[in-house]
Amino acid sequence: MNQLELLKILESVKAGDLAPDKAIERLKHLPFEDLGFAKVDHHRALRQGFAEVILGRGKTPQQVGEIVRAMLRKKDSRHNILVTRVPVIAVPTSVGYGASFGGVAALLGMLNSCASNVTVVNIDNGFGAACVASCINRL
């Protein structure tokens, strides 16, 4: 759900076109829907501008399918849904060959990839990458 869809629901309630209990039914899974084996973040598109990425590690194909169906039921994504087995932490290094510019070329390439579920830390920032990995492991 994005801001425009949320605004439409609120305006419909205000105009009397949508009963409050029906609005609650549409909103009750915000921000999360607990499927028992995963929590689907239906609020991510509202907060971040793009739908949740599905981390498939440790999930069966049936569970991944149920997450996709939950996202589609709530219209979290009108585009492709990304499923990945592992999160990616990108660490550009200052040592390279060719025109690496001390790691700036690698950093810009990583930042411009615009790939979901990829965290990019600064050049040679192995410590920052370790902090991100620790946060991911605590999820």
What is the predicted pLDDT for the residue at 78? 62
**pLDDT by residue for the chain (139 residues), tens digit each?**
677 888 999 999 999 999 999 998 888 767 788 899 998 888 777 776 777 788 888 899 999 999 999 988 877 766 677 777 778 899 999 987 778 899 999 999 999 887 777 899 999 999 999 999 888 877 7
Distance CA 46, CA 11 (A): 17
What is the predicted pLDDT for the residue at 117? 76
